[in-house]
Amino acid sequence: MRVVKVKSKERRRDRRIQEIPLKIDLNGSNYETANWSLGGFLLYSFYGDFQIGETPVVGIKAEVGDQVFQHVVRAEIVRIDFTRKMLAANFVELDDDILNTLEGLSTGRLRRELLRKRKSA
């Protein structure tokens, strides 16, 4: 009998977005996401002093054309790799406004709405 390995199914609930980076303000330092989803984000070039399980307040900034969306949310630090300078965090609480922005970015809806407004103006 031959054993065939099957790739395990992706366990993430939300699609990762790399094409549209978010700007993250974490403890007074600014970063750009390597990727993000409705569940959280990953930072490269991270220099900081956090512990896994901490839940800092995080500033999120997204730009769509000339429109800027800024939010503040709490995130839980779930992974830190000091050797590779990476930090991963999960969003703890997303209110409707933040969720609307992130969903709009991930689906392209915010960009389409902005284009529609420009055409009608």
Residues 6+ apart with CB under 8 A from 111: 64, 65
**For residue 11, is it within any domain?**
no
How big is the CA angle at 34 (ends 32 and 40), to the nearest 5 degrees?
90
Banded model confidence at residue 11, pLDDT cuts 50, 70, 90: low
Question: What are 114's strand-pairing partners?
Answer: none
- Identify which of 17, 51, 45, 52 has the alpha carbon closest to the alpha carbon of residue 31: 45
Structure tokens at 71: 């939010």
The SS3 of residue 117 is helix
Res. 14 pLDDT band, cuts 50 70 90:
low
Question: For position 1, what pLDDT does the model report?
Answer: 47
Q: Is the pLDDT of residue 4 over 50?
A: no
17: in domain: no
List the domain range (segments joined by +) for residue 87.
23-116
Query: Which residue is it, tokens 């429109």?
Result: 67
6 lies in a domain? no
Q: Total structural domains in the chain?
A: 1
Q: Is residue 39 part of a domain?
A: yes
Residue 38 in domain? yes
| pLDDT tens digit sequence for 49-106 | 899 999 999 999 999 888 899 999 999 999 999 999 999 999 998 999 999 999 999 9
What residues contact residue 65 under an 8 Å CB cut-off, 6+ apart? 111, 114
* Residue 5 forms part of a structural domain: no
pLDDT-derived band at 18 (thresholds 50, 70, 90) equals: confident
The CATH number of residue 49's host domain is: 2.40.10.220
